[in-house]
A = this chain, B = another copy of it.
Amino acid sequence: MRVVVPFDARDPKTRLAPVLDPEERRGFALAMCRDVLDALAAAGTSPHLLANAPVDVDVPVTVDDRDLTGAVNGALADAGADEVAVVMADLALVTPGAVERLLQTGSSVATDAEVAIAPGLGGGTNALVVGHPSFRVDYHGASVRDHRRTARTLDAAVREVDSFRLATDIDEPSDLAEVLLHADGRSRDWLRRAGFELAVTDGRVGVARDGAD
């Protein structure tokens, strides 16, 4: 199975701008991406990166300056009838076990799924396995809803992967708490080195940064 990880190497994680400057956002995004690539490799896959600029990682990189939707649809078209997994680069909580559940759900050998979807918080699609040659993505808006609809239109069987670790993409400052609570890789280390720690209050836990107000 082809495994593709799209990555914004230019101006990633803009919704983290309230807490990280542009250089920090690039550094943290790369740490998360490497965690995702590690988990994919540990699950026995050979991922490649689909980036909008050159990136220094230990896997093959395809540079494609189309937007996320265009670049992923290019990769799906290239794959023809081959199965393709598309896994977002900001899943800092992902583990090899979560990847294995995704691939198992998406494997047309093990199940009847032609499209496997791991929903993300807030209507996103954090990971997909596409086994239908005509399926194309659209990451704008409530993409999980649109992807379900697309699969229905194609009469493609859909299975969903129920995973907190796949659902938790790290987009907003409050998401950083999830990394500190549940991850143990480069992303967690990056945040700790940058001075972030859990801020425990009533309700959901947030983060605070050394030296910040």
Contacts and interface: CB of A to CB of B under 8 A. Distances in A.
Interface of A: 15, 95, 97-98, 101, 119, 121-124, 141-142, 144-145, 162-168, 171-172, 174, 177-178, 181-182, 198, 200-201, 203-206
Q: What are the 3 A-B residue pairs with the smallest beta carbon separation, nearest first? A: A122-B204, A123-B205, A164-B167
A208 to B, nearest CB: 13
A181 B15 contact: no
Nearest to A146: B200
8 contacts: A119-B182, A121-B204, A123-B205, A141-B200, A142-B200, A142-B205, A145-B198, A163-B164
A163 to B, nearest CB: 5
Contacts of A162: 95, 97-98, 101, 163-165
Contact of A181 (B95, B142, B168, B171): B142
Residue among A119, A162, A201 having the largest count of chain B Cβ atoms under 10 Å: A162
Given A121-B121, A145-B198, 17 more contacts: A97-B162, A119-B164, A122-B203, A122-B205, A123-B181, A123-B204, A141-B200, A141-B201, A141-B205, A142-B200, A145-B181, A162-B163, A163-B164, A167-B167, A171-B203, A171-B204, A172-B204
